[in-house]
Structure 1
Amino acid sequence: MMDDVYLLNSPFTFQSMEKHAAYCAMMRLGLKVPKTVLVPYKNPPDNTKYAYTASRYNQPFDLDAVAEGIGYQDFCDSRLRHLDEIVLDWVAGPDFDRLLVDTVTATYPAHERDRFVERFRGLLGMWVKDSG
């Protein structure tokens, strides 16, 4: 907890971010990637602070038309099919554990570090066990 705010991350986030980063990098490099469509949230939050973003990125869409041309999942299935296992192995390994300890050390007060390192190790360990 920093400034009364908890930052929660799901291990699934790592897998999704790695896939998305690879996809974006390939597009940026001009490599051929399937056409992809960002499907907006079905029921956007009714909050004025999201009004501008919703007006730009949460437009109504034709799901059948999107499904015909979607390419992101095809890209992941054809070119990144082993990425989930690679991320799982990374999270289970010593390099990630060092990163976890370094991050907690840099982020949490000294009196909370051991507790949070063990908590995050426990949560990540359960995820690795359940995913393996």
Structure 2
Amino acid sequence: MVDQSITGAAGKVAEGDRSGRARLVIVLLCVALALSMFLSLRSGASDASAVAVIRDWLTGTMPDDAALGARDRLIVYDIRMPRVLLGVLIGAALAVSGAVMQGLFRNPLADPGLIGVSAGSSLGAVAVIVLGTTWL
């Protein structure tokens, strides 16, 4: 393998420009994530208003004097909140695993098929179809 690193002043990229831009992108992505999480909590058949959800979440009031009713609190906190948090955690885990795979193979186009994940899952699916689930 040939080392293609560039040394000297001509090869250096202005770190201030890149790090400032990266920070801005990270902040904007975090804001977009928070906004999409809030919209996921808010959207649905429940008639809970966005202001009531924000007020209830920020004040942390007890159920007696809450901005949301008991039914809306149940929907928002017991049904939607776990779904939204699980979606965020799964997305983060998939992003980290993809970045690790690309870093491990030093290939920005690396995908799960590179290590046989697709073929292995196909084998498992065929085994379940042919043999059934009773042997599991």
TM-score, normalised relative to structure 2:
0.30
Q: Which has the larger radius of gyration?
A: 2
TM-score, normalised relative to structure 1:
0.31
